[in-house]
Amino acid sequence: MTAFPGEPVSTPAVRLDTAQGRWIVLTTVLGSSMALLDSTVVNVALPRIGRDLGADLAVLQWTVNAYLLTLAGLILVGGALGDRFGRRRIFVLGVVWFAVGSLLCGIAPNAGVLVAARALQGIGGALLTPGSLALIQGSIHPDDRARAVGLWSGLGGVGAAVGPFLGGWLVDGPGWRWVFLLNVPVAALCVPVALRHVPESRDPQAHGRFDVAGAVLGAAALALLTYALIEARSGTALVTGAAVGGVLLGAAFVYVERHRADPMMPPDVFASRQFTAVNLVTLCVYAAFGGFFFLVVLQLQVVAGYSALGAGAALLPTTALMLLLSARSGELGERIGPRVPLTVGPLLCAAGMLLMLRVGPGAPYVRDVLPALVVMGMGMVALVAPLTATVLSSVDAGRAGLASGINNAAARAAGLLAVAALPLLSGMGPDAYLSADRFDAAFGRAMLWCAGALVVGAALAWATVRSPAPGGCHPECRTHCAMAAPPLEPPREAER
C-alpha cells in the first residue's frame, strides 16, 4: 500500500514505561471504554426507559440490539479501514461518531428515535473498537505488548463493570438520558490526546477495492436473524421469511468472502487453527456474557427489589477483581499458555451464573448476590486478557486490525444473538419484566442456557487451543514470530 505523503511505513516501537506509552494505553482505554461502558450502562437503565417510553420487552431488546447489530455487522469494516487508511485516523473518527450518536440518544423523544440513534452509536463503536487494540499492537514494543494488552483489558473491563454502578446513579439521579450524554465529554478528552500522542500505523499490504458486498451481506444477515428471534412468538410469515433470508444471506456472505480477491474477512486468516479455535471460544463465552448482563440488572431490580443504583453497585466486585488482577492474568497467560486460562475461566463464570439462581425476591446481597459475582469476576479475570492476547498473537502483527475486528465481531454477534434468543428460549413474554414472579422463573431458565454455553466454550478451549512453543511462537506460526514482528509506521516528523 502507498503511504500518504510524508508518512513512512515503519514505526519505532514505544516502550510501555515511557510517557508516550502510557498516553497510548490511556487513549485506547478511553475510547474502547466508551463502547464497553455504554453497553452495560444502558442495561441498568432499561426498566426506567421502558416505563418512561411505554415500551414492551421487544423494544428493550432492540434498544440493546440496535447498537450491537451495527457494531457486530460493521466491526470488520472498522478493522479493515484502520489497517488501510490509518488506525489512529479511523479510531478518532469512530470516537467522534460515537459521541454524536450518544447525543442523539440523550435527546431522543420516543423509542423509535432512541433505537435509531443506538444504531448510529454502533457504527461509531465499529470504527473505534478494533482500532483501540490495533493501536497498541502497532505501537507498543513487542516485549511490552502482553502487559499493555493486560492493562487495556483490565481497565476496559473496569469501564464495563463500572457501567452498571454509574448507570444506576444516573438513572436514580439526573435521569436515564445522562447515561448517553456522559459519552460526549469523554470523547472530548479522548480525541485531542489521540491526535497528540498516538503514532499513526497501518498495514502496508492492505490494497485493492473495499469489500462493500461483504459488509452489506454480513450486516443484513445479522439484522434478519435478530429480527426473527425477537419477533419469533408472532409466528408470522414475515418472521419465517426473515429467518430464511438471514440464513441465505449468511451463506452468501461466506461465498463472497471465499471468492473475492480482496475480502473483508480473508479466509486464509482462519488457516491459523489457534485463531479459529479462540474465536469459537469467543462465540460461546460472549453469548453467555451478553445474555447475563442484559438480564441480571433486570433481575436485581424487577425481582430482588433493588434500586437502579443498588443494582449497578451490586456488580462492583467484578470491577475490583478486573482492576487488580487482569494485567497479571495477561502475563500469566503469556507464561503458561492460553489453554488453561481459557478453560478454567469459562467454568468459573458458569459456576457464578448458576449461583445467581439463588437470587430471588428480597435476596440479601452478601449471602446470595456477592458470592455469585465474585466467582463470575474471577472467571472473567482468568479469561479476558489471555483470550485477547491469543487472538493477536495468532496472526501476523500487520493484520492486527483485521484479527481484532474478527474477534470483536464474533463477540458482539454472539451477544446480539443471545439477547435476541434468550427471552424466547426461557419463555420470557413481552411484559415479563413488569411481573416479578414471571421474570424470576424465566431468569432461572436463562441462566442455565448461559452456563451451558460457557461449559461448551471451556470444552472447546481444552480440546482445540494450544500453548505457545518454547520461545513464544505458536506451533503454526508462519513468520519468525508474529508476536515480535516490528510495528508498522512511524509518527510524522512533527509528532516525534
pLDDT tens for each residue of 85-107: 888 888 999 999 999 999 999 99
- pLDDT at residue 288, rounded to an integer: 95
- pLDDT at residue 158, rounded to an integer: 66
Confidence of residue 285 (pLDDT cuts 50, 70, 90): very high
- Is residue 391 scored above 70 in pLDDT? yes
What CA–CA distance (Å, rounded) separates 291 from 138? 33
Sign of CA dihedral 114, 117, 119, 122: negative
- pLDDT at residue 350, rounded to an integer: 96
Least confident of 7-11, 207-211, 360-364: 7-11
- Is residue 464 scored above 80 in pLDDT? yes
- Are the C-beta atoms of 321 and 378 separated by less than 8 Å? yes
- Is residue 80 scored above 80 in pLDDT? no
What CA–CA distance (Å, rounded) separates 381 from 337? 15
Other C-beta atoms lying within 10 Å of the C-beta of residue 351: 18
- pLDDT at residue 474, rounded to an integer: 47
- Is residue 278 scored above 50 in pLDDT? yes
Higher pLDDT, 423 or 153: 423
- Is residue 336 scored above 90 in pLDDT? no
What CA–CA distance (Å, rounded) separates 255 from 272? 20
- Are the C-beta atoms of 131 and 11 separated by less than 8 Å? no
| 360 Cβ contact partners less than 8 Å away, ≥ 6 residues apart | 303, 304, 368, 440
- Is residue 207 scored above 80 in pLDDT? no
What CA–CA distance (Å, rounded) separates 331 from 147? 6
Instruction: Indicate the residue type of 322.
Output: M
- pLDDT at residue 101, rounded to an integer: 94
Taking CA atoms, 46 is separated from 51, 99, 221, 443, 463, in Å, by 9, 20, 26, 16, 38
- pLDDT at residue 12, rounded to an integer: 45
Residue 135 sits at φ, ψ, to 5 deg, of -65, -40
Assigned C-alpha cell, 475: 506451533
User: Could you identify the residue written with the cell 510524522?
Assistant: 492
Give the rounded percent of residues in the chain with a pLDDT score beyond 90: 28
Assigned C-alpha cell, 10: 515503519
Q: What angle do CA 425, 292, 59 make, to 5 degrees?
A: 65
Residue 176 sits at φ, ψ, to 5 deg, of -65, -25
Higher pLDDT, 248 or 471: 248
- How far does the chain reach from its first CA to its final CA, in angstroms? 23
- Is residue 130 scored above 50 in pLDDT? yes
Instruction: Indicate the residue type of 353.
Output: M
For residues 379-417, one letter each, b for 16 or more C-beta atoms within 10 angstroms of the residue's C-beta and e for the rest, the string is bbbbbbbbbbbbbbbbbbbbbbbbbbbbbbbbbbbbbbb
- pLDDT at residue 320, rounded to an integer: 78
- pLDDT at residue 469, rounded to an integer: 45
Higher pLDDT, 324 or 489: 324
Confidence of residue 119 (pLDDT cuts 50, 70, 90): very high
Question: Average pLDDT for residues 156-174, to the nearest whole number?
Answer: 76
pTM of the predicted structure, to 2 decimals: 0.77
What CA–CA distance (Å, rounded) separates 64 from 54? 16
Give the side-chain half-sphere CA count within 13 A for 206: 26
Give the side-chain half-sphere CA count within 13 A for 127: 19
- Is residue 26 scored above 50 in pLDDT? yes
Question: Average pLDDT for residues 267-284, to the nearest whole number?
Answer: 88
DSSP reduced 3-state for 140:
strand
What CA–CA distance (Å, rounded) separates 260 from 48? 47
Could you tell me which of 89, 58, 129, 29 has the C-alpha nearest to residue 406? 129
Q: What angle do CA 183, 146, 202 make, to 5 degrees?
A: 65
Question: Average pLDDT for residues 427-439, to the nearest whole number?
Answer: 85
Q: Is 491 exposed, middle or buried (0-12, 13-18, 19+ CB in 10 A)?
A: buried
pLDDT tens digit sequence for 299-322: 999 999 999 888 888 888 887 787
Question: Average pLDDT for residues 289-298, to the nearest whole number?
Answer: 90
- Are the C-beta atoms of 21 and 140 separated by less than 8 Å? yes
Assigned C-alpha cell, 314: 451490586
- Is residue 470 scored above 50 in pLDDT? no
pLDDT tens digit sequence for 474-489: 444 433 333 333 333 3
Assigned C-alpha cell, 280: 469459537
- pLDDT at residue 205, rounded to an integer: 66
Give the CA-trace dihedral at 25, 29, 31, 36, to 10 degrees. Answer: 160
Maximum distance among all Cα pairs of the chain, rounded to whole angstroms? 65
DSSP reduced 3-state for 14:
strand
Among 133-137, 206-210, 470-474, name the most confident range.
Answer: 133-137
What CA–CA distance (Å, rounded) separates 250 from 276? 18
Confidence of residue 18 (pLDDT cuts 50, 70, 90): confident
Least confident of 65-69, 235-239, 349-353, 372-376: 235-239
Sequence length of the chain is 496
Could you tell me which of 103, 323, 122, 85 has the C-alpha nearest to residue 219? 122
Higher pLDDT, 42 or 453: 453
- pLDDT at residue 473, rounded to an integer: 46
Q: Is 58 exposed, middle or buried (0-12, 13-18, 19+ CB in 10 A)?
A: middle
- pLDDT at residue 147, rounded to an integer: 78
pLDDT tens digit sequence for 148-161: 777 777 676 666 66
Among 180-184, 348-352, 363-367, name the most confident range.
Answer: 348-352
Assigned C-alpha cell, 265: 474477512
Confidence of residue 397 (pLDDT cuts 50, 70, 90): low
- Is residue 494 scored above 70 in pLDDT? no
DSSP state of 361: T
Higher pLDDT, 206 or 165: 165
- Are the C-beta atoms of 274 and 468 separated by less than 8 Å? no
Alpha helices, DSSP H, located in 54-141: 57-85, 87-106, 111-139
- pLDDT at residue 6, rounded to an integer: 33
Average pLDDT, the chain: 81
Give the rounded percent of residues in the chain with a pLDDT score beyond 70: 87
